[in-house]
Structure 1
Amino acid sequence: MPDSKDSADELAGTEQPFVQHLMELRNRLMYGMAGLAVCMIALAIWPGPSGLIDWIAIPIRAHMPPDAKLIAVGVFSPFFIPMKVLAMTALVISLPWWMYQVWAFVAPGLYSHEKRFAIPLIVLGSLLAYVGIAFVQFMVLDRMFGFIQQFTPKSVAATPDIASYVEAILSLYLAFGLAFQVPIVVVLLVKMNMVSVEKLKDFRGYFIVVAFIVAAVVTPPDVISQLALAVPMCLLYEVGIWGARWFVKTTEAPEEEVAENPAE
């Protein structure tokens, strides 16, 4: 065993009793819920549930008659749908806080070189999720609804139900937020030695096919949203290959750690 104090401190806490791990997990969940509650209270004060609904309805209302409004078919929809949007928005805003709680829970079992790359990945993953959601709101929805409205007969009044509209766009937010994590997944696969950069390059053609299949499954049946998801996924795959090569080189384990853990 090495005599270095730093080496001994790196794995401090990894031999905690199982009950202590459960208590730590409980505490991290409570901290995460507290952060979520703070975000919900802040959003309830401003802009409020109605303000959030008005904001996410901008893309579709731009393609509706000036005096037209979304309708609420369900009896409780006017209350539950704004509350649902409020909770989902608070969850998105508190995402970095949740990811930090996950990191804090697993950090005691990580080596120093693993901790160095964990935090940048958490920050980058949160930013990519926000970029994906913003891409949907400001780029995809307007073009998608414009494309769909072209096929609406003149004898039909397009007044969507607020519940179905919110469900549709939340599924798009989730799909794009997850799809924009492709670079993170690629980096982790290479970092964990599950695949090499060369193999990822060889898989490039297959990934393009997979990206278009995923886009066809998770997006509405219109070509605009499908292309809007598949093309960024392919580009982010290339970014992930480049980032994996750079990231792995900059986060290699020190020689003393490799000697201490030859199986790593």
Structure 2
Amino acid sequence: MEHLRELRNRLVIALAAVLVGIVVGFIVFDPVWAFIKEPFCETPQAGQLRPGECTLIFGGIFQSFFLTLKVSALVGVVVSSPVWLYQIWAFVTPALYRNEKRYSFTFLALAVPLFLLGTALAYFIMDTSLAILLGFAPTDSVAAIQIDEYVSYVLIMLVIFGISFELPLLLVFLNIIGVLSHATVKKHRRTVIFVMFIFGAVITPGGDPLTMMALAAPMVVLYFVAEGFMYLRERRLPNTEDFSHLSDDEASPLAEDTSSPDDDPTPLDEEPPAADKR
């Protein structure tokens, strides 16, 4: 019961921090919207409705309000991330071992820069990706892009790229806590790389080759970095017996009988002498 009470308290604190961040998002909406709109404004289709001006449209009475709410919520989640990340960390920490806690601080410190690196890459290629996707339209057509659809596209791109850059860090963490070995990662290397490219083609909103390559290529590089870290780390560990050559259905010797026949001088076919009865 105490565990559930702690979870409730931490959720309340995290939600309160997000609400405060949403209020901040409402205040700084204009510069944030200009930042989000910039990739579309770099495309040739941005000025088709009003030449010389970057124009997006909305088609509903409440759409502009929900747009403001969505952008503010994004700002709120980002601004309040130190608070809710700490609440998650404080709730999970008691279940970890001492060495896992020590490494987790380093992983949390690396997770934020990696996520920001992924979002920065997504933002950097977004104008080119949009130009490619909109370039398939007939020359006699006009791009009337809905604001809500565009914002959803931007958010999906940022989140997908940011989370994808965290996957190699997860592999390293699993290796350190003993769940995943370098031998396993090396064994399935080709399959993992192939899956990364399939993942890049399927998960990206546009599905164009540029976005797929922009997502898959850095993931492959980070994957090799993670594999190299696993290799160097395991080389520094004390030598232990390696069972990686065994097949999945072959049993490995978990323990060996290290006792010596000289440990017990009593022969097996003789009984110990009975105690004297008086």
TM exceeding 0.5:
yes
How far did residue 129 of structure 1 move?
Answer: 1.4
How far did residue 136 of structure 1 move?
Answer: 0.9
Give distance in 2, aligned partners of 1:25 and 1:247.
Answer: 35
Query: Where does residue 62 of structure 1 map in the other structure?
Result: 42
Q: Which amino acid aligns with 1:201?
A: K
Give distance in 2, aligned partners of 1:153 and 1:202.
Answer: 48
- Tell me if structure 1 keeps the 8 A contact 2:56–2:146: yes
Query: Where does residue 169 of structure 1 map in the other structure?
Result: 154
Aligned positions of 1:138-217 closer than 5 A: 139-217=124-202
- Tell me if structure 2 keeps the 8 A contact 1:28–1:101: yes
2:18 aligned with 1:41: no
Report which structure shows greater RCO (CA 8 Å, sep ≥6): 1
State the structure with more CA Rg: 2
- Tell me if structure 2 keeps the 8 A contact 1:71–1:161: yes
Name segments (4+ residues, structure 1) moved above 4 Å: 245-252
Give distance in 2, aligned partners of 1:127 and 1:246.
Answer: 23
- Tell me if structure 2 keeps the 8 A contact 1:131–1:177: yes
Alignment TM-score, normalising by the size of structure 2: 0.76
**Which shifted more, 36-45 or 76-85?**
36-45
- Tell me if structure 1 keeps the 8 A contact 2:100–2:177: no
Query: Where does residue 224 of structure 2 map in the other structure?
Result: 238
- Tell me if structure 1 keeps the 8 A contact 2:25–2:71: no
Aligned positions of 1:125-136 closer than 5 A: 125-136=111-122
How far did residue 233 of structure 1 move?
Answer: 1.0
The root-mean-square deviation of aligned C-alpha atoms, in Å, is: 2.2
1:11-54 residue CA offsets vs partner (Å, 9 max, x unmatched): xxxxxxxx111111111112212222232222322x22x33222
Q: Which runs of 5+ in 2 are unaligned?
A: 239-278
* Secondary structure in 2 matching 1:157: coil
- Tell me if structure 1 keeps the 8 A contact 2:172–2:226: yes
How far did residue 105 of structure 1 move?
Answer: 0.8
Aligned positions of 1:110-129 closer than 5 A: 110-129=96-115
Query: Where does residue 26 of structure 1 map in the other structure?
Result: 8
Give distance in 1, aligned partners of 2:126 and 2:201.
Answer: 16
* Secondary structure in 1 matching 2:117: helix
Give distance in 1, aligned partners of 2:24 and 2:231.
Answer: 41
Give distance in 2, aligned partners of 1:177 and 1:151.
Answer: 28
Give distance in 2, aligned partners of 1:250 and 1:43.
Answer: 48
Alignment TM-score, normalising by the size of structure 1: 0.80
Give distance in 1, aligned partners of 2:233 and 2:56.
Answer: 47
1:52 to 32, 37, 53: 32
- Tell me if structure 2 keeps the 8 A contact 1:68–1:159: no
Aligned in 2, Cα 1:247/1:55: closer, same or farther, shift over 3 Å?
farther
* Secondary structure in 1 matching 2:56: coil
